Chain A
Amino acid sequence: MTLLFDGADWDFQTLDAINRACTEIAVGEYGLDIYPNQIEVITSEQMLDAYCSNGLPLMYSHWSFGKRFARDEALYRRGYQGLAYEIVINASPCISYIMEENTATLQALVISHACFGHNHFFRNNYLFRQWTDAEAILGYLAYAKAYVAECEERQGRAAVERILDAAHAVRPQGIHRYPKRRWRLAEETERAKARAEHAERTYDPLMRTVPGFRTTLERPEARQQMETEARAKLRLPEENLLYFCEKHSPRLAGWERELIRIVRLLAQYFYPQAQTKVANEGCATFCHYHIMTRLHETGQINDGALLEFLHSHSAVILQPDLSDERFSGWNPYALGFAIMRDLERVCLDPDAEDRDWFPAIAGNGDPWGTLRDVWANYRDEGLIRQFLGPKVMRAFRMVHLADRPADPDYRVAEIHDEAGFRRIASLLADQYEPAKLAPLIEVADVDLFGSRTLKLVHESYRGARLDGEQTKKTLQHLQVLWGYRVCLQERDAENGRVLTEYASA
């Protein structure tokens, strides 16, 4: 085979050749199933641009994105922070941004990582299939951008910012965690207008001004019944605060509801990404490692390029241990890659321990088939619970530290030995529970016919408490969305005792 490139320089033919060679390997040999690829070459400034709008190619205008840009730019210019080699967008076609500064080897690495690894994961993982609509996201973003711009023009920038700021504050609590129906972003654009008109016309149970209503309210049993009926319509408790405000806020105008909806749908779009960092990056890293190695084996890249690749690769999968000053938690690339490499070994060359741990897959001789199944059907938490093997735990010398409030020290409770493996795997999996991503706060009740106060509840597990300062400010934002007072009760999840009460001013 001829070399795809020689040296650091590349042009568009090189990219095309790399892509064709990778396709042959990834799709032909490894059986990856990908969206069509679209590679976009950008400058470092454009990369910074893309950073600050969550990596999306289009985004509505908001000051917080400008803030992120100012901060990232300052960090980058002073050399505190490097830029990613690539950004990849879960869309069909799958768009990968690659930087013009990269060398040819890096471009090959990036293409095999993003255009094949991430792309395959996006297309096949159940969470992405459930929650995102790859065909429609770009169209929806264009719609959102235009809609926000139009609102700014008609309602004034301040009014729009007020809603967006408030909605951004509760974004992590603005997602559905359990699928109700297949998400269809494509329909959003067409339905938006109809929905706004409809919402303005429709009857709202909270806004009763029917004659005779007051007198009905005075009869306790009638009032009771009305409240029960109205409350049933609210389907409490509700975990999605943005959804609740959008649907039931007594005060919002149609365009305000639509803005909340835009924020909410975009938050939902990113929900799978947060749950699959280890699996997604592990998949991409595993793919790039194999594709690059295969390119070298087939004589399509030379030794120099292989060494350059290995240098970058080992930097990506570096996992400092907890005594290292570079340590800042788990590196999802390292953890994911280690687990997947271990699975590969289990499939091909298992020993007694592996047969004991993974009887279903040990020695099945089909690592790619096994991994494709893992990538399709697991998120981080499941991946770790099911597939974190003793060899990986030993390799990382995993320890379990118990942090108890009364104790001034962390206590090493388990280590990577026979007695500790199960517990360590299970505790590490717990760490990746989606519930750990953001505090779970629910709408518990609404004072329907009185002060219209919105009542929220946060259940405190194992002494985890909300940050008071932040909570007060966030409630203030939430009041903007709800239109009336919002209060929050923090309860002990075990005995239901009320720990703290917060209220918006």
Chain B
Amino acid sequence: MVIVDRRANPQGKSLANRQRFLERVRGDVKRAVADTIARRRVADVDTEEEVRVRVDGTEEPGFATTPEGEHDYVLPGTGTLNRGDRIRKPSGSASGGSGRRAGRGSGQDAFEFTLTREEFLSYFLDELELPRLARTSVAQEKLSRPQRAGISIYGYPSALDVRRTMRNSLARRIALRRPDQAVIEELQARIVAAIEAGDEPGVAHARAALAEAERRMQRIPYVDPVDVRYARHVRTPQLATEAVMFCLMDVSGSMTEHMKDLAKRFFMLLHLFLSRRYERVHVVFIRHTERAAEVDEETFFRSRETGGTLVSSALDVMLEVQEARYPRERFNLYVAQASDGDNDALDRARVTMLMQERILPIVRYFAYVETGGERGVFPHNAGRRTSELWDTYEALSAVTESENLAMRRLNDGAAVWTVLADLFAKNAHAAA
């Protein structure tokens, strides 16, 4: 008997099947992901909660009979039944016998299964992209990648091309008529045969032939340095798509906790999207009240502050940073701004000027998210349909007719996923 321990075998043998299955139910999965997005809180993003997918579209039909017709069932009884007793058929279907039968036919293929977090995120993020991302520059040395480039006579032992080397060796051995082991053995056999036959000159002749063969075998190596070939690699520089995302968040007093929470969630998700999908996207965090400052990630997401609102201050800081560190020739520039839309009316002209003349011409995409109250009410500007900043941007987009300014309203946590998905939906933007 043999006992084999298979526990250490690679897990996930059915991974290939799972991928095929997920591909097949792509529609259902996407719907489930969208549903979950609507229910989910952003904080859940990094937790291990799983997504349940209800699958209907994977029927495997086959010829089957309905429970109609005459049947005779022999079943384990209760001991109290007697001839002529009657048992009501289960309503709905005429099935009896094995209770399983009743379930056949409809609904058999609908079931729920769970997506892992990885699968969920990849489905969600697959749908997103940075609009109008262009290749801006040939980047530094470290972005080059080794690529196969034929063969070479020099190289590392690890790059040895065994097939080619042995092919050369074989060709050379044939060309130089190097005797192989079979020939040697045959000559030896001939000597033995000659000795047995007592054929003296034959023995001498065969011995000479053997000596000659052995000499040739020694002089002509099996693998000669001239045979050796290596796979050749060259490093080819890769085109880099470098991009920077400026995250501007209003943290002024007019922002309620709810609004700040929404804004933070939005940026968290945006950050997750960028860090997963793009290797080289820089993120700059800027927050502002009536003054703006560039802050680190931790401060941006965690710390609190209050004060008035001056949107232009944030735009100023953004432009400063951009000029100092992110020349537009090298970087794709993106801006995401979240605010409650409250701004000093006197600032309007300056915001319009900055946006129109300096920002919109250089950025690929400017996404503005206006966070509203719990039920879509804007408390500070009751009576007005829209906010100050919204008006400003709306006027701006009418004047400039620029396509790279997008605006969305965000009222409750559930919509964060959808707003992000909407702003960065794939193929929604014409190429620049």
Contacts and interface: CB of A to CB of B under 8 A. Distances in A.
B226 to A, nearest CB: 37
B98 A65 contact: no
Contact of A401 (B62, B73, B78): B73
A412 B87 contact: yes
B66 interface: yes
Given A40-B6, A46-B13, A465-B68, A401 B63 contact: no
Nearest to A45: B11
Contacts of A170: 62-63
Could you tell me the dominant secondary structure of chain A's interface residues?
A: mixed
A71 B63 contact: no
B89 A410 contact: yes
Interface string B66-96: 1011111111111101111111110000101
Contact of A38 (B2, B82, B111): B2
A62 B17 contact: yes
A441 B89 CA distance: 29
B4 A40 contact: yes
A321 B76 CA distance: 5
Nearest to B7: A43
B4 A65 contact: no
B89 A64 contact: no
A52 B72 contact: no
Contacts of B295: none
Give the interface centre of A397, A403, A411, A471 by most chain B CB atoms within 10 Å.
A403
B77 A415 contact: yes
A66 B62 contact: no
Contacts of A52: 14, 17
B101 to A, nearest CB: 8
B112 A463 contact: no
A247 interface: no
Interface residues of A, number: 96
B59 interface: yes
B387 to A, nearest CB: 46
B4 A63 contact: no
A142 to B, nearest CB: 14
B23 interface: yes
B83 A71 contact: no
A37 B2 contact: yes
A398 B4 contact: no
Contacts of B78: 321-323, 397
Contacts of B16: 61, 66
Interface string A432-470: 000000110100000000000000001011111111011
Contacts of B21: 63-67, 69-70
Contact of B64 (A16, A69, A327, A470): A470
Interface in B285-306: none
Contact of B75 (A67, A322, A438): A322
Given A45-B11, A46-B13, A403-B89, A322 B77 contact: yes
Contacts of A63: 17, 20-21, 23-24, 58
Contacts of A424: 74
Contact of A16 (B3, B72, B94, B112): B3
A259 to B, nearest CB: 15
A439 B105 CA distance: 14
A464 B99 CA distance: 17
Contacts of B72: 400-403, 413, 427, 430-431
Contact of A403 (B13, B22, B94, B98): B94
A41 B5 contact: yes
B86 A409 contact: yes
B97 interface: yes
A70 B113 contact: yes
A467 B14 contact: no
Nearest to A458: B63
Contact of B69 (A100, A169, A463, A474): A463
Contacts of A16: 1, 3
Interface in A298-335: 319-323, 327-330
A74 B89 contact: no
Contacts of A411: 84-86
A39 B24 CA distance: 36
B61 interface: yes
B7 A42 contact: yes
A491 interface: no
Contacts of A439: 63-65
A43 B9 CA distance: 10
Contacts of A416: 77
Nearest to B115: A70
Contacts of A464: 65-66, 68-69
21 contacts: A12-B3, A15-B3, A43-B11, A62-B20, A65-B17, A77-B114, A161-B20, A165-B60, A169-B61, A171-B62, A397-B76, A400-B74, A409-B87, A409-B89, A412-B84, A415-B81, A416-B77, A431-B74, A441-B63, A461-B69, A465-B68
Question: Which 5 pairs, one residue from A and one from B, show the smallest C-beta to C-beta distance?
Answer: A329-B98, A463-B69, A66-B21, A66-B17, A70-B113
